[in-house]
Structure 1
Amino acid sequence: MKLIKKLSLPMFVILLLTPIVSVSVSAEGETGSEDVYEEVVDPNYVESEVLEPETQSSPGYVKGGPQYDTGGYWTGWKIYSKTRMSDVYGPTVYSEEAWGPGVLNLTTALSVSNSYTGTLKVAKSALDASMGFNVSTTYSRSVSYSITPPPKEQWQIIYKRRYDKWKVQQRYYIHQDGADHYTNTYQTVYPKKFDAFSFDYIVKAYR
């Protein structure tokens, strides 16, 4: 059945209505993983930030080798750029249902998480510091949402998790002669940060 009403809730906003039909569920009752599926909100949204300048770039720099560099020689990875991508949604979760007339209320604590995909080459602590949040943590949010199905209709509450998403490029470098020299070797990682829940409902049946 076609969705006929929408309401997006920020993570700190709680709707409290006195229920006639009230249900409480635990996050443990959910099935599937919140990170398996992504729905792109706006595929044309891109915001980029280059964190390291190109002035020291020297692809394949190997001058003399480490034995000739009294200033130290080492190799490693640095975060080179960040691109703010479109927000994404996790999968739809089908929750409580009831027949009208009455108020159907969902009150629960839901598990949410920040995560990343791709290839992480820098230390996770370095990625955390660059992003400004822990990229691999799980916690819970309390939510409450109410709908009022009319007589002879069965409604069901559904919701999705919404995430902020970035594309982070890491670049391989060689430190020699007292400077970092970038190569043309890159690896990409995609951090996601939980933003909010988006609630909705569907009409399941009539009688």
Structure 2
Amino acid sequence: MMKNGGVIFDFNGTLFWDSAYQETSWDKYLETHNVNLTMAQKKEYIHGRNGKDTLEFLFKRKLDESEVEQYTEEKERIYRSECLQHEMKLAPGATKLLNYLKAHEIPMAIATASGKTNVDFFIEKLNLLDYFAEEHIIYNDGKIKGKPHPDIFEKAINKLGVKNSQSIIFEDSFSGIQAAMNSNVGNVIIVNSTNENYSEFNFPVIEHFDEFDRNLLVGCMKQ
């Protein structure tokens, strides 16, 4: 029998509060390529977007697959070394919530715009397989349309075998929230890890996973 709903987490800025490391690594990367962006441009074209879309905006031309791979990996090496200079841990209250979901056998997945090399890094450094089956960690494989398209969330929901209408998505980026809305899930929860203004959205905003109303999980429980 089809389970009701599942819980899908965006990763960067949601389950793992790495926005400062992302900012620093993007700044270093843009500097090496002599590209200047405003904060507004970064918000629109970088945060939560997939790599190809971002890079084509930065370099103002179409890029082939090998170029996207090369440029992305160059940036992500800077990012990973930035992460390693800090204590790497999941977001405030996240471990407690993940343990609760696991104990109640609630299907859960990650849907991230990160690529494979970063996902492997996160799996190793943050012990993600303690909570998520590897096939339920959906990442940017270069074939999925980037957020705000709902494709990555749709793929996660299909992998879990759950209903959109009963599912919950946690997101932090504006393009990610739009993608969550476009996937027609029952609930979208905004994780405010960077003191952002989300007043344009009519969704609950949390700054700690303990603030999440677990009554919303009733649609995800086994009947």
Fold-level similarity (TM above 0.5): no
TM-score computed with the length of structure 1 as normaliser: 0.24
With the length of structure 2 as denominator, give the TM-score of the two structures.
0.23
Larger Rg: 1
